[in-house]
Structure 1
Amino acid sequence: MKQIACAILLRDGCILLGRRTPQRRFYPDCWDVLGGHLEAGETPERALIREVQEEAGVTPLHYRLVATLPDPDPARNDEARYHVFVVTGWTGGEPRMLGDEHSEIRWIPIDEAARLPDLAIEAYRDLFRSLARPRTIG
Structure 2
Amino acid sequence: MVAPTPIAVAALVRDGLVLMVHRQPFRQWYPDCWDLVGGHIDSGESPHQAVRRECLEELGIYVHDPLPIPMTVSDPTLDMHAFLVTRWEGNPVNAAPEEHDDLRWFRPSDLADLKLAHPASLSSIVGAVQGRTE
After superposition, what is the alpha-carbon deviation per residue over 1:29-60, rounded to whole angstroms, capped at 9, x for unaligned?
Answer: 10000000011100000000000000000011
Answering whether residue 122 of structure 2 is matched by residue 128 of structure 1, we say: no
CA distance in 2, matches of 1:128, 1:29: 19
Name the CA shift for 1:118/1:102 in 2 (closer, same or farther; >3 Å): same
What corresponds to 1:87 in structure 2?
85
What corresponds to 1:3 in structure 2?
6
- Which ranges of structure 2 fall in alignment gaps of 5 or more residues? none
CA distance in 2, matches of 1:112, 1:51: 25
For residue 106 of structure 2, the aligned residue among 105, 108, 128 is: 108
SS across alignment from 1:123: helix
Contact kept, 8 Å, 1:66 with 1:85, in 2: the verdict is yes
Q: Relative to total residues, which structure has the larger strand share, 1 or 2?
A: 1
**Aligned Cα root-mean-square deviation (Å):** 1.6
Q: Relative to total residues, which structure has the larger helix share, 1 or 2?
A: 2
* Alpha-carbon distance, 1:129 to partner: 2.6
Name the CA shift for 1:134/1:49 in 2 (closer, same or farther; >3 Å): closer
After superposition, what is the alpha-carbon deviation per residue over 1:80-122, rounded to whole angstroms, capped at 9, x for unaligned?
Answer: 200010100001x210001211000111112212x13401101
- Which ranges of structure 1 fall in alignment gaps of 5 or more residues? none
For residue 93 of structure 2, the aligned residue among 88, 96, 99 is: 96
What corresponds to 2:39 in structure 1?
36
Contact kept, 8 Å, 1:110 with 1:131, in 2: the verdict is no
Contact kept, 8 Å, 2:17 with 2:129, in 1: the verdict is no
TM-score, scaled relative to structure 1 = 0.85
Structure with greater Cα Rg: 1
Contact kept, 8 Å, 2:20 with 2:104, in 1: the verdict is yes
Contact kept, 8 Å, 1:62 with 1:87, in 2: the verdict is yes
Identity of aligned residues (%): 36
